[in-house]
Amino acid sequence: MGSNQKQTQIAQKESFERKLKNRLALLAAEGIDARKIDKDSLVKKLRANVEAINTRMKAIEAIEKKNEELAKMKLEKANAPRKELEGGKEKKQKEAPVEVKEKKK
């Protein structure tokens, strides 16, 4: 799931960036100044899409990093000797005090 989603996001980002580049080139060829280009609705939409994908990619990378750390911790725990794991978990056995009851005569 993760790799497919990441690949999809990368492909969409490339597509939006390509469309944005083409739109900017078209507007520049028409001689429109930079302020009007920045106000163009299609340019705004394409830039917003790229930013949204960047945000999603950061989230995906954070999840992947967390999963790697958890897998590493799980592997370390599985490879650790049992005595080390049980060392801190040993139960303290309480010795019951021996009481001697004297019989009354």
pLDDT of residue 80: 83
Region for 93 from its dihedrals, namely left if φ exceeds 0, alpha if ψ lies in -120 to 50, beta otherwise:
beta
pLDDT of residue 91: 56
Is the distance from CB of 46 to CB of 24 less than 8 angstroms?
Answer: no
pLDDT of residue 90: 55
Task: At 32, list the tokens.
Answer: 């429109």
Is the distance from CB of 50 to CB of 17 less than 8 angstroms?
Answer: yes
For the chain, 105 residues long, give each residue's pLDDT as a single digit of tens. 456 799 999 999 999 999 999 999 999 999 999 999 999 999 999 999 999 999 999 999 999 999 999 999 999 998 888 765 555 555 556 666 666 677 665
Q: Rounded distance, CA 63 to CA 69, Å? A: 10
Chain centroid to Cα 45, Å, comes to 26
Give domain limits for the chain. 2-81
Q: Rounded distance, CA 38 to CA 29, Å? A: 15
DSSP string, 73-98: HHHHHHHS-HHHHHHTTPPPPPPPPP
